[in-house]
Structures are given as structure tokens and as C-alpha cells.
Amino acid sequence: MSLIKSISGIRGTIGGKVNDNLTPVDAVKFAASYGSWLITRNSNTKDLTVVIGRDARISGKMISSLVANTLVGMGINVIDLGLSTTPTVEVAVPLEKANGGIILTASHNPKQWNALKLLNEKGEFLNGADGAEILEIAEADGYTFAEVDNLGSYTKLPGYMDKHIDEVLKLEFVDVEAIKNANFKVVVDAVNSTGGIVIPNLLKKLGVECVELYCEPNGNFPHNPEPLKEHLKDISELVVKEEAHLGIVVDPDVDRLALVCEDGSMFGEEYTLVACADYVLGLAKGNTVSNLSSSRALRDVTEKHGGLYKASAVGEVNVVELMKKTDAIIGGEGNGGIIYPASHYGRDSLVGVALFLSHLAKSNKSCKALRDSYPSYFMSKNKIQLTPQLDVDGILAKMADKYINEEVNTIDGVKIDFADEWVHLRKSNTEPIIRIYTESNSQTNADQLAKRIMGEIASIAGI
């Protein structure tokens, strides 16, 4: 089954049968569910507006058209940003005084996938209750469409990625002059999606020399689009060949940021947030938040600056909720997602690039030296494919019982904290898999811990 319905939206593979894959019928059904929810939520508002935008994947134009016309058919006005990024749509919703937003992107998933990511009037992902309500509407097929005189309007609004860039450059801690004076040379891998437009344009405005790799927004991903080390051989080699100061990698919808050091080594997805937080906390005292699957290094850096660190359940909406509760001034997820409230409450690679380059320029260090200045933790990220006969909840409960004498957290799957390492086991929100993340003081130890835990799961599950 390749259709995943969750509180954060609907995601699936293109083609196939209705309710099993993301077919045109499923796209219309879910857009109508969101539209119905929005109309009920704004019962005293006559004209409703939704901002939409898409990444460059091949199915994007088709899915976007279906979603836009469904909303128009419900009497909702649509502002279409066209090729865009997830954070750009998030920024556009409040700027355009819209009532909501939909991003057509399957984020880091391969090209056969697409998705509808749903936003509220603040340009933030929906909370669990709102998402559940939309799923209920979809199950009940409870939609009412507008009569011919009450159809919504459709407006194209190109150029919003440039407006997003301008908003980033206005941020207080983005030091444009320091970046320009550093004369950086950077290689960018945008996996042939919209990051290939927006990241080079941002760098040009920052006075950075940009070498483009896979920056043609045609949706033909040249490698697995998840920005992990094993997928980034080409940029690693090109950074060294070009004698660049660093490499910048974004996923198809530009909400995840990975960095490559000048010697071709990985800065580490986990350390994107650590470095940006270190920079921001050095300029303003405050707290931070990341999720349970993120590195302990953020906690260490936060405490070094006198702040308080907290961990949330996995998922951007959960991180944002805890950031608001703790007045965190920066946070995010260890997958390279930076959330900086001074800009907006959403993961944003543009903000991440601007903050990181400001930090690097003012540190007078190379990218590798900056990475080496942080506590060294090593992660192993693994997955087990789910099959219908697997009782995932039962497996996780047995793992929690097995390690009852350790520090166990069950707010999101099972996280087991040992003295010098940890493991987090959880069912993915976006793929039919169990994720097994471990962290330790060496790669060997992290890998060994993962291997041991996966063996224990296999034993419990009888696989």
C-alpha cells in the first residue's frame, strides 16, 4: 500500500488504484476534505483564500492543477505560487493574509511519490486534532461544492521565492556584509528541484560564488533525494575539485539542509542545526528544541550558552508546539531542518544557509574546523520495512519492557537513553517502515548498537 494518510497530510505514489496510491481521485478527495474543514473553521468569513505551491517533481503540475481546481470548485480563492518551496509557501500564507496553504511535495521521497502538505492561517502545519478532523471528513465523503456564481478565483503569483529571499536577508542575525567579505565559493546540489532556483539566487545576493550541481528544476532526481552521506558522492567530489569552501545540499522542497566540508567530508545533517543554534545563542540568550531522534550535541551547545534544551516527539508540528511553550529562539530536527521563529515557525533551508554562512564568516574557521569544534557524536540511521502481519506497537512495547531499568521515553515510539548512547525506535509518519536511530561516541559503537537492537526486534517479531 503506497497511500499514507496522516494528520500531516496525504502522501503516496502516482498511478495505480484509488485508495491504494495517490491517484487524481485521491488528490481531489483530500483537497476537498481540507477545503471543507477550512470553510467550517471560517464560517463567518465570506471569501477564503488558500496559497499553493509545488516542488519540481514530474507529477507536480498535475497534482497542483487538481488541488487548485477542487478548491475553486468549493468557492475558495487560490493563489498559486507555481514552482516554490515548502518554507516559501509557509512565509506566503500570512504575508498574503490567506486562510491556509497547501504544498504539493513529497519532500525527500523518490520521484514516484507526491503529497499534499497542509497549513493553517499562520503558515504552520496543522495540529493533530485539525488533521484528524480532515481525515474524518475524507472518510465520510462529506463535501459540498459551490454553485456556479460562487466559484472561487484562481491567481498565479510568480516570483515569491525572491520575496522569501528578501525576507531572509532582513533578519537581524544574517550578516550580509560579513558573508560578502568572506568571498565564499560554494557548490550547490539541489537534486533538480526548486532549490536549484532559490539557493543560487540567495547566494548571489549574499555575494557568494555558486557552482551549480543538479540545479535544473525538471524533477528528474539524479540520486536518492534524501540528503544523506551515501547519496552525496558527486557533490563531495566536486567541492574538492572546485576548491570550494563548502557544499550545500537541499531536498526537493528545500526544508532540509545538509553541508559538505571543504575536504569533501560531511558536516553532518545533525550538525546543521547545532551550528546555527551555536551562532544564534552566541548573540541572544535563549532555549532550544529538537526531536527525540536528534543528536545530544544540540543539548550540549545550548547548555554551554546557558540555555534550556527540550526534546519533542518527531514531527515538525510537535517541535513547533514545544518551541512555543518553552520560548525557544531556535530549534528544528536533526534531519537538517532549521526552525527560526524570528523568520517563521517552519523548517527553512534559506534561513539555515544564511545563518550558517554568517556564522562561518565570523568564526574565521574553515567549515571542517567549525565542525570539529562541536561535541562528536555519531549516529546510525536504519529502517525495517513493515509488512501487514507485523504488530509494531506490540514490538515496541516489548522493547520498552526489556529496557525498563534504563531511561525510557514513550511519547513517540520508544527512546532508550543509556549513559553514553541512545536508541530511538518509531513507526514512520511518511513511509511504511520502523525507523531505528542510534547515537554513540563512535560510529562503530552506534552501528553496533543499531545491529544489536535490530536483532532483538527481529527475534521478538520472529523475522
pLDDT at 387: 79
Task: Count H helices and E strands in the chain, helices first.
Answer: 15, 20
Among 181-185, 252-256, 419-423, 431-435, the range scoring the smallest mean pLDDT is 431-435
163, amino acid identity = K
Q: Residues 65-78: what's their mean pLDDT?
A: 98
Please state, in angstroms and rounded to a whole number, the distance separating the CA atoms of residues 327 and 350. 22
**What phi and psi, each to the nearest 5 degrees, are found at residue 310?**
-135, 150
C-alpha cell of residue 360: 562561518
399, amino acid identity = M
Q: Residues 337-346: what's their mean pLDDT?
A: 98
Q: Three-class SS of residue 413?
A: coil
pLDDT at 1 exceeding the cut of 90: no
Domains 163-373 and 378-461 fall in the same CATH topology: no
Strands 309-312 and 257-260, how do they pair? unpaired
Half-sphere exposure of 64 (CA within 13 A, CB side): 25
CB 124 within 8 A of CB 87: no
**What phi and psi, each to the nearest 5 degrees, are found at residue 36?**
-65, -45
Strands 257-260 and 246-250, how do they pair? antiparallel
pLDDT at 315 exceeding the cut of 90: no
**What phi and psi, each to the nearest 5 degrees, are found at residue 399?**
-65, -40
DSSP state of 145: P
Q: What is the dihedral of CA 83, 346, 318, 44, to 10 degrees?
A: -80
pLDDT at 430: 67
Q: Residues 454-458: what's their mean pLDDT?
A: 92
pLDDT at 386: 78
Q: Which residues, 6+ apart, have CB-to-CB distance to 157 below 8 Å?
A: 79, 80, 81, 82, 92, 96
- For residues 266-298, one letter each, b for 16 or more C-beta atoms within 10 angstroms of the residue's C-beta and e for the rest, the string is bbbbbbbbbbbbbbbbeeeebbbbbbbbbbbbb
In total, the chain counts a number of residues equal to 463
Q: Considering the domain 378-461 in this protein, what is its CATH number?
A: 3.30.310.50
Among 59-68, 215-224, 225-234, 382-391, the range scoring the smallest mean pLDDT is 382-391
DSSP state of 149: G
Which one has a higher pLDDT value, 434 or 450? 450
The residues that are catalytic are 107
Q: Residues 227-244: what's their mean pLDDT?
A: 95
pLDDT at 431 exceeding the cut of 90: no
CB 270 within 8 A of CB 389: no
Bridge partners, residue 260, by sequence: 247, 266
Instruction: Give CB contacts under 8 A, 24+ apart, made by 281-288.
Output: 281/305, 281/307, 281/329, 281/330, 283/173, 284/173, 284/329, 286/327, 286/328, 286/329, 286/330, 287/326, 287/327, 287/328, 287/329, 288/328, 288/329, 288/330, 288/331
CA distances from 384 to 4, 114, 370, 434, 436 (A): 17, 22, 34, 5, 8
Q: Where do the domains of the chain lie?
A: 3-158, 163-373, 378-461
End-to-end Cα distance, the chain: 20
CB 432 within 8 A of CB 109: no
Superfamily of domain 3-158: Alpha-D-Glucose-1,6-Bisphosphate, subunit A, domain 3 (3.40.120.10)
pLDDT at 252: 97
CB 257 within 8 A of CB 249: yes
Superfamily of domain 163-373: Alpha-D-Glucose-1,6-Bisphosphate, subunit A, domain 3 (3.40.120.10)
